[in-house]
Amino acid sequence: MTCVAAIAIKGEVHMMGDSAGVAGLDLSLRTDRKVFRVGTVIMGFTSSFRMGQLLQYNLSVPRYHPDMDLFAYMVTAFIPAVRDCLKSGGYTRIDNNEEHGGCFLVGIKGRLFQVQSDFQVGESHYPFDAVGCGAPYALGALSVLIDDESRTPEQALSCALLRAERFSAGVRRPFHYETLEATP
């Protein structure tokens, strides 16, 4: 299920997600959004609505100190807070002595990170990323759309999610959009 895509450009992070809830061959359109703001960050998830609900309503985002490298902050401060949030909400699971959560995007301070189910943090070389079953389609579309300066980031994301919806049974409108403005 899902397609959440994001663009980090000019110090801002723009993110859009679909509304599909998929279980096997069953599809439901959800009113709870996969893209949301939590304090100073913007987030978009796949994997589980329960995980997204915990991140949206239970996560206490640690304060970022400007003298700290942002990637290091994500690994050493943000991820431990996420793990605590998901554990206390009964969401994480242990398989072969490894803790697992889910996959989501995080926009902070004009940068875009992807968190995988093993809690690794990644940052794409490109100014865009996507997660979910529709991600390959959205990434393909964004790789072309990112060079079209006549489109706003919201228009580019909408176009990318429409392409994902066209080719993936797990992606459905309505799409929801959030922006994290540039911060000094």
Q: What is the largest CA-CA distance in the chain?
A: 50
Q: What is the pTM of this model?
A: 0.97
What is the pLDDT, as a whole number, of residue 183?
77
Question: Rounded to an integer, what distance in angstroms lies between the CA atom of residue 162 and that of residue 171?
Answer: 9
| Distance separating the N- and C-terminal Cα atoms of the chain | 36
Q: How many domains does the chain have?
A: 1
**Residues spanned by the domain of 80:** 4-180
Q: What is the CATH number of the domain that holds 14?
A: 3.60.20.10
Question: Rounded to an integer, what distance in angstroms lies between the CA atom of residue 7 and that of residue 12?
Answer: 8
Q: Are 41 and 48 in contact (CB under 8 A)?
A: no
Q: How far is CA 102 from CA 10, 109, 184, in A?
A: 29, 22, 31
Cα-flanking dihedrals φ and ψ of residue 129, to 5°? -160, 170
DSSP H helices, the chain, are: 49-57, 70-73, 79-88, 135-145, 153-167
Nearest CA to 176 out of 29, 11, 9 is that of: 29
Strand partners, 17: 4, 176
| Other beta carbons within 10 Å of 3 | 33
Q: What is the pLDDT along the chain (184 residues), one digit of tens a residue?
A: 899 999 999 999 999 999 999 999 999 999 999 999 999 999 999 999 999 999 999 999 999 999 999 999 999 999 999 999 999 999 998 889 899 999 999 999 999 999 999 999 999 999 999 999 999 999 999 999 999 999 999 999 999 999 999 999 999 999 999 999 987 6
Q: How far is CA 139 from CA 144, 150, 159, 165, in A?
A: 9, 19, 11, 13
